Amino acid sequence: MRGAWLVFEDEAGFSTTPPQARTWSQRGRTPVARVRGRSRRRVSIAALTCYKPSHRSRLIYRPRRDDGRKSFSWHDYRDLLIAPHQQLGGPIVLIWFNLNVHKATGLREFAASWDWLAIYYLPPNALDLNPVERIWSLLRRGWLSNVAFSTPEHLVQHIRRGLRHIQYRSDLLDGCLAETGLTIRPT
């Protein structure tokens, strides 16, 4: 599609149990953050990185609280795809993984009914080709590391803060694309 935005999608789940990162302290005084047990309270996030030559790179994301279903449904993905089309104001070439929900009948019918959307699938085990994977890494190593979350709302607050910081720094988004080894050239 000429003049389309190249959009990568991925989703991740975050728990109120904090990821561990390295820190420093006085020799012999290892800092310890006590956390009660393993948390079953999870927050799922779907994110889209959007690229187009001579345009600022974009990050669009949607959190989803655990309401019994652990992952996004095809309805959630449909709604997620409508948002960037409206925000970016142009056609979209979507690249994502071969998840069963990505190939659901309802989602395929939705995609086929719109000429502004083309969908391509990454090969299995091609995590290194998706720049959104780098977004999750930045988030986990930065805003979520070494924090003991007291409630799911506290977790969502930190996730949103980190994603907003990344969202407004297109150089970070461009760096995530560069790490994949992929380049975007005008046609």
Q: What is the pLDDT of residues 117-133, one digit of tens each?
A: 999 999 888 889 999 99
The pLDDT value given to residue 119: 93
Q: Is the pLDDT of residue 158 over 70?
A: yes
Residue written as token pair 């993984």: 97
Mean pLDDT, rounded, for 144-155: 80
Give percent above pLDDT 90 in the chain.
43
Longest dimension (CA), the chain: 63
How many residues are there in the chain? 187
Q: Which helix (H) or strand (E) holds 7?
A: strand 5-15
User: How far apart, in whole angstroms, are the C-alpha atoms of residue 145 and residue 18?
Assistant: 6
Reported as a pLDDT band with limits 50, 70 and 90, residue 160 is very high
Cβ-contact 149, 158 below 8 angstroms: yes
The pLDDT value given to residue 51: 95
Which residues, other chains included, contact 33 with Cβ-Cβ below 8 Å and sequence gap of 6+? 18, 146, 148
Which residues, other chains included, contact 3 with Cβ-Cβ below 8 Å and sequence gap of 6+? 52, 90, 91
Q: pTM score, two decimals?
A: 0.83
The pLDDT value given to residue 88: 92
pLDDT for 53-65, tens place per residue?
989 999 999 887 6
10: three-class secondary structure by DSSP:
strand
Q: CA angle, 138 as apex, 117 and 58 as ends, to 5°?
A: 30
The pLDDT value given to residue 186: 75
